[in-house]
Amino acid sequence: MNGRPLVAITCCWIIGVSILSLCQGLDAVLALGALLLLLTGLGLYGQINLKLLIMCCLALMLASGERYWVEHRNTSDLAITEATEGAEAVLSGTIASIIEVDGDLVTFRLKAKTIRLASPASEQKMSDTVMIRIKLSKQSEQTLASKWKREDAITVKGIMELPGDAGNFGAFDYRNYLKKQGIHWQLTAKGTHSVNYSKGETPLIGKPLRALDDLRNAIGGLMDRLFPHGDAGYMKGLVVGIRSDLNPEQFDDFARLGLTHVLAISGLHVGVVVFLLLQTGAWLRLTRERTLDLTIAMMPLYMMITGASPSAVRACLMAMLALWLARRHALKDGLHLLLSAALLMLIWNPSLVEDVSFQLSFIVTAGLILFVPTVTESLPIPWKWLRAPLAVTLTAQVVSFPLTIYYFHAAHLLSLPANFFLVPFISFIVMPLGMASIVLGALWFPMGIIPAKLATMGNQLTFHLVEWLNGFSRLRTVWPQPSLLWVVTAYFLMGIGVVLLKRRLAVKQEREWWSQQAADEGILTNPEDDRTAPLAFEYRQPSRNQLKSTIYKVGIAALYLVWIVWGYQPAWLDHSATISFINVGQGDSILIRTGEGKHILIDTGGTVSFHKPGEEWRARSDPYEVGRKLLVPLLLKRGIRELDALVLTHLDADHIGGAQAVIENIPIRSMLFNGTMKDSPAPAKLFQLALDHNIPCYSVHTDMEWKVDATTSLHALYPRAELTDSGNTIKIWKEQNERSIVLLISVYGRSFLLPGDLEAEGEREVVAAEDKTGNKHQRIDVLKAGHHGSKTSTTQEWLNYWQPVETVISVGRNNSYGHPHPTVLARLNASGSQIFRTDRDGEIQYRIHPDGTMKRRMVR
């Protein structure tokens, strides 16, 4: 540590800003005190000299103090009360971001100056940055909104709301995401008529940012013209970091193979830009110093044009430092460059330590700097030209793996070859062609067409290869959410592995040196006579040493295996079962995990679209889709590698809307439905998709039973067979609620009744059928209220028969249907059933243990 003070100081700074991410209050103070004591102990034992000890302690305290100060100041001027949340307000201020127009939605950030609430009707000062969302009412408003610019004065009238929080365990928390950026409120308005826009004189400090916005928009418009074959959005993301037009499905394909980093501006992009700038300086016959100066000056511009993401800032800072040191002939250590960039960024914004892009960018870069030389020498490949690129790809994959699992919960076994072949192709061929097309096209548009067409040919090849590799879906491994300790252990084991590789290389090099010495001196290297070799060099180890070495290697392998099992969490490690009522808004989705680790998903939620013909302009490039945005990430985070069954209780949009994304991303062994078809494109498309994925589909009707495993069984109570059976054809049934599958589920002796959207008449039929069979059901533990608490379901007769101890209502917040209906709530309260609601409580999860004990937990 004494020999590399910058490394020690920066590590202490990173730890200091991270303390509040790991613990709060007294725990944070105790953690800081323990770290200071540890540093003091290292100093007393002579591991750190006094000067470095003082600097490290100061770095630790200053970093934690700055982080606390930043967090303490991150508050809103507007108090969070019932009077403000959901209240009508008029906000005045200036536009603080680019204007994003996507279909019928306009979003931007507003630096507020004043706010006037309807109650009390008084204007007050406000300095918050507020997220503005404007729902457009007609197509002409898109053109109007696109003319708004950063730093323009604006007044907006709408509803003040808190951003949405995480409604499910482990789900993305949008409210917390915005809070880290200093945004505590959002205002939702309808139509541009709710906006009073006035274009005034742009402040001097805002002119550069506004000019960069205009330049960024101009580049985007030019790329739309240069790439008319559907790859404009991809090239915008690849070359200049504009990801708003990227095809969501295409992004998912790249994400499954771990290739999204090519769409994030990073060291590869900056390296290409630096190389092109240096070559341009050489062609123009500029001096070395002038070329380096111009390249350094261009780095901040490129960083801002590409959106100044953490990875772009890191790469540009490192490039600027490296070029400056190269100008002074002092460029020596890449690790010092990396840590200098990290230190500067965290001093500027300590909250960046929690940013996923920041973490991946720095950890992968550090891994490449520290590990690649050793890995390159250790690879048993005779061709030097292949060893180096393979070592870089392998190191990047291994170093990023723990964080990838921690944040994204999946890793494709074909990710390594995909990165090895595609990243160089994209980075050194397609991306330079894209840059060339922009520069040449800006000078004279026809000149940019040729490199653009060549880039498009490369893109088509890339897309076909990515699609083909994604076809091997079974090679995608899914890992449940690990702990931070698992991640830290991973990097500890990597360190051990590299140390062992270095020792092995040292021994190998020593043997090779002595062999060469013996050959040069003409000494016979007789395996039985090693008198000329040093004691450390043995031609043949004694059997005792061989046994010790074998035990040592087995121990290391066992350590790695334990770490993998710990992270992978096989089903046999957990014998408890769970039934989770997932919060999908106005819809249903219920996830069952049996005691033996099998998974069943009942319904997939969905958003009902009311767009009429002629309103195609309302379609958004990346609309919220419950399957892709919520269900699939949630299932992956819970380590669900396949679904034993996907049950669709009926074919209404709020129950099957997310099924397409689930089928495309998670293997499914069987799909169960109510035996009917709805005359609508969505169900037909869904069943065709199931056939394309070779998923068998089974019709469910009364008296069917499925013993999933020794812990769980499903009993179908509805619909009756005669309602769906019509020989070799499937009946088309418009009113699907009346044909909902009703399931009675038993898990470790606990009972759950799930009636879909069954209406009153169907409830009476089920009760009558159960009475007729003479089944004597005990009081059930949990009932899902039918049809989201509609007044046409959950009748008194139904409640009298089943007598549920608890009732869960799956319902959307502030839904337009008035669910749950007051009469249903009154019936449930009168029956003595305890009520839980997904709109109010978030996800409601029941955990059942093998002894039959059951615990409930809720998000809120």
pLDDT surpasses 50 at 105: yes
pLDDT surpasses 60 at 723: yes
Residue 717, SS3 per DSSP: strand
Give the C-alpha separation, 412 to 490, whole Å. 18
Give the C-alpha separation, 643 to 580, whole Å. 15
Pick the CATH number of 88-202 from 2.40.50.140, 3.40.50.10190, 1.10.3470.10, 3.40.190.10: 2.40.50.140
Mean pLDDT of 745-763: 94
pLDDT surpasses 70 at 521: no
**pLDDT given for residue 540 in this prediction:** 47
Instruction: Sketch the domain layout of the chain as residue ranges.
Output: 5-73, 88-202, 216-351+415-475, 486-568, 572-610+620-858
pLDDT band at residue 120 under the 50/70/90 scheme: low
Give the C-alpha separation, 263 to 236, whole Å. 9
Mean pLDDT of 485-503: 92
Is the bond preceding 120 in cis, omega lying within 30 degrees of 0? yes
Residues 648 and 671 sit within 8 Å (Cβ to Cβ): yes
Give the C-alpha separation, 314 to 360, whole Å. 11
**pLDDT given for residue 726 in this prediction:** 61
Residues 724 and 676 sit within 8 Å (Cβ to Cβ): yes
Residues 818 and 716 sit within 8 Å (Cβ to Cβ): no
Mean pLDDT of 275-304: 90
pLDDT, tens digit (0-9, with 9 covering 90-100), for 49-99: 889 889 999 999 999 999 999 999 998 888 877 667 888 899 999 999 989
* Percent of the chain residues past pLDDT 90, beyond the cut: 57
- DSSP H helices in 625-716: 626, 632-637, 653-656, 659-665, 681-692
Q: Strand pairing partners for 577?
A: 848
Give the C-alpha separation, 559 to 732, whole Å. 58
**pLDDT given for residue 613 in this prediction:** 74
- Distances in whole angstroms, Cα of residue 793 to Cα of each of 210, 561, 757, 769, 790: 56, 52, 8, 18, 6
* Region class of 151: left (phi > 0), else alpha (psi between -120 and 50), else beta: left
- Token pair recorded at residue 190: 């309808």
| CATH node for 572-610+620-858 | 3.60.15.10
Q: Which helix (H) or strand (E) holds 827?
A: helix 822-831
Give the C-alpha separation, 226 to 240, whole Å. 14
Q: Tell me which of 10-19, 457-466, 608-617 is least confident.
A: 608-617
pLDDT surpasses 90 at 456: yes
Break the chain down into helix, strand, coil percent, rounded to 5.
55, 15, 30
Give the C-alpha separation, 658 to 584, whole Å. 10
pLDDT surpasses 50 at 536: no
- Strands, DSSP E only, in 485-537? none
Q: Other CB atoms closer than 10 Å to residue 466's CB: what's the count? A: 17
pLDDT, tens digit (0-9, with 9 covering 90-100), for 793-849: 999 999 999 999 999 999 998 888 889 999 999 999 999 999 999 999 999 999 999
Among candidates 130, 139, 133, 137, which has minimal Cα distance to 106?
A: 133
Q: Strand pairing partners for 478?
A: 410
pLDDT, tens digit (0-9, with 9 covering 90-100), for 340-395: 999 999 999 999 999 898 899 899 999 999 999 999 998 888 888 888 889 999 99
Q: State the sign of the Cα–Cα–Cα–Cα dihedral 186, 188, 193, 194.
A: negative
